[in-house]
């Protein structure tokens, strides 16, 4: 167990170095010109302006030089300055991370709750139409393109029926609460702004449902499988024999044990949720890391692209570490095995 953790941690610097190297090498092949987002297109015809901008942003140096400078900065925790926003990438990311985390956490809750529910239903009613329906529903979530589903959801719930607000995290005209944690749900409450809290919740509903559904299938599969395992075991049979009600057997005995392996799957859903958040944030104008990544990629903002990828890799690593730790905590065999 400890070895796995250590291995992951030791690999991390190499991972980051790898991605930095890769983006630098790939940048050589690009046809586009990042200067456009720095000085505007028309000034590209003016050699003085181009030279000045290149010098200012370090683009006049050779690729290896730029690479070394970047790596050196990186070692000091500096991710460079975004070509597009002109702010330190680290600050840009810190500003936007809470928005993404808030969305991803809400989506994970949606995915976990629906997944567990459907998984239990499918296991309990194995091979009945209820099982097939539950599994189909879970599968749909991972087959429907999220960016289309998001559009449909906006069209139906926001434009047509006005049941829910459109994109963004809060109503534009309302003053955003002071940023304490960056989580709208928490900040509005800290500010005692109940209306703001309700507004934030309403804005979160559509994106977290769309994003959460995409991982329902993964969770449901896992829960179903482990429920079937557990339901066949002696202690469940015992409980039934002792005359415990079916609901009690299901939730008190079976589910509690089945959830242990299911819990670990949440770490895996992170990859899905990050992928999804890029698309969902784009649709819902959510000011998080995902939409930042898209804007960076479109304007060839290399420092931002590299920064986002590094942070994404770190997030992935942390999710995996947490999964490992959770697994070790719930499964004594893992602990002793290591």
Partner 1 sequence: MSAHTILAIGPGRRLYSRFANRLSWRSAPVILGAVIILGAIIIAISIPWWSPYDPIALAGRRLQPPSWGHWCGTDALGRDVLVRTLYGTRYSLTIAALVLAAGVSIGSLVGAVAGFIGGLLDSTLMRLADITLSFPPILLAMAIAASLGPGLVHTAIALIIVWWPIYARLMRAQVLNVKGLDHVDAAVVAGALPSRILFKHIVPLCWSPILVNMTMDVGQVILLASGLSFIGLGAQPPTPEWGQMIAEGASSFYSWWIAMGPGLAIFLVSLSFNFLGDGLRDLFDPRSRAST
Partner 2 sequence: MMATGNLWRRGLFSAASLMIMAASGALATAGTAQAADSEIVVARAMDLNSLDPARAYCDTCQIYLSAVYDTLLTLAPDNKTIVPDLATSWEVSPDVTTFTFHLNPAATFSDGTPVTATDVQWSMERLKNIKGGAAYLMDSLKSIDIKDPHTLVVTTKTPNSEFLGILSATYVGIINSKLAMAHGANDDDNASTTDTADTWFLSHSAGSGAFTLQSYKADDALRLKRNAGYWGKKAQVSGVIIKQTADAVTQAQMLQSGAADIAMQIDPDTAKTIHDPNIVFQTVPSYNYVYAAFSPIAKGSPVPLTHDVREAIALAIDYKGAIDFTVGGAGNLQPSAIPNGFPGTADLPAPVTDVAKAKALLAKAGYPNGFKIGLEFPAMDVYGIDISLLAQKLQQDLAKINVSLTLKPETFNVWVGDIDKPGVPFTIGFFAPDYFGSAQYAQYFGMMAGMPWGTRAGVGTTPGLDGAAELVAFNKALAAGPSAQEAAYQAIGLQMIADKIILPIVSPDLVLAYAKDIGGMRYSACCNLPLAEIVKH
Residues near partner 2, by CB under 8 A: 31-33, 36-46, 48-49, 51-53, 55-56, 81, 84-87, 92, 95, 150-151, 154, 157-159, 162-168, 171-174, 195, 198-199, 202, 282-285, 287, 291-292, 295, 298-300
CA 52 to chain centre: 39
If residue 160 lies in a helix (H) or strand (E), which one and from where to where?
none
Rg value, the chain, Cα: 24
Q: What are phi and psi of 186, to 5 degrees?
A: -80, -45
The CA–CA distances, whole Å, from 194 to 29, 189, 197 equal: 52, 6, 5
Q: Residue 245: which of partner 1, partner 2, none does it interact with, CB under 5 to 8 A by kind?
A: none
Q: Contact, 213 vs 114, CB < 8 A?
A: yes
C-alpha closest to that of 278 among 303, 259, 295 = 295
Question: Closest CB to partner 1 among 196 and 207?
Answer: 207
Q: Residue 109: which of partner 1, partner 2, none does it interact with, CB under 5 to 8 A by kind?
A: none
Question: Closest CB to partner 2 among 18 and 40?
Answer: 40
The CA–CA distances, whole Å, from 64 to 25, 70, 81, 303, 333 equal: 10, 10, 19, 15, 49
Binding of residue 26 to partner 1 (CB under 8 A): yes
Of residues 83, 272, 284, 292, which one binds partner 1 by CB under 8 A?
272
H helices present in 125-193, as ranges: 129-143, 146-153, 184-190
Question: Closest CB to partner 2 among 163 and 329?
Answer: 163
Report the nearest approach of partner 1 to the CB of residue 330 (Å).
15
Question: Which positions lie near partner 1, rule CB under 8 A?
Answer: 11-12, 14-15, 18-19, 22-23, 26-27, 29-32, 126-127, 132, 139-140, 142-149, 151-152, 155, 159, 218, 221-222, 224-226, 228-229, 261, 265, 268-272, 274-275, 278-279, 282-283, 293-294, 296-298, 300, 302, 305-306, 308-309, 312-313, 315-317
């Amino acid at each position: 167990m400890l070895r796995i953790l250590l291995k992951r941690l030791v690999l991390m610097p190499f991972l980051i170095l790898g991605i930095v190297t890769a983006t630098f090498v790939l940048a050589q092949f690009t046809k586009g010109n990042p200067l456009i987002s720095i000085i505007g297109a028309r000034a590209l015809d003016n050699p003085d302006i181009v030279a000045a901008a290149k010098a200012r942003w370090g683009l006049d140096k050779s690729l290896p030089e730029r690479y070394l400078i970047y790596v050196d900065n990186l070692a000091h925790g500096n991710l460079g300055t975004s070509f597009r926003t002109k702010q330190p990438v680290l600050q840009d990311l810190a500003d936007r991370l809470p928005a993404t985390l808030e969305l991803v956490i809400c989506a994970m809750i949606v995915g976990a709750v629906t997944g567990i529910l459907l998984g239990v239903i499918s296991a309990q009613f194995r091979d009945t139409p209820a099982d097939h329906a539950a599994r189909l529903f879970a599968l749909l979530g991972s087959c429907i393109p999220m960016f289309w589903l998001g559009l449909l959801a906006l069209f139906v719930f926001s434009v047509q029926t006005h049941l829910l607000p459109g994109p963004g995290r809060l109503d534009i005209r309302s003053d955003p609460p002071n940023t304490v944690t960056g989580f709208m749900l928490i900040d509005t409450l800290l500010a005692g702004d109940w209306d703001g809290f309700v507004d934030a919740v309403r804005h979160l509903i559509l994106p977290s449902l769309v994003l959460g559904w995409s991982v329902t299938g993964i969770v449901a599969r896992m829960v179903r499988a482990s429920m079937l395992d557990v339901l066949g075991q002696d202690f469940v049979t015992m409980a039934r024999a002792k005359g415990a009600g079916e609901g009690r057997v299901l939730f008190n005995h079976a589910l509690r044990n089945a959830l242990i392996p299911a819990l670990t799957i949440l770490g895996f859903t992170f990859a899905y949720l990050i992928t999804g958040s890029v698309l969902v944030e784009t649709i819902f104008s959510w000011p998080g890391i995902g939409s930042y990544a898209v804007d960076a990629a479109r304007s060839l903002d290399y420092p931002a692209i590299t920064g986002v990828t590094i942070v994404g890799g770190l997030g992935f690593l942390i999710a995996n570490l947490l999964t490992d730790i959770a697994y070790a905590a719930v499964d004594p065999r893992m602990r002793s095995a290591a």
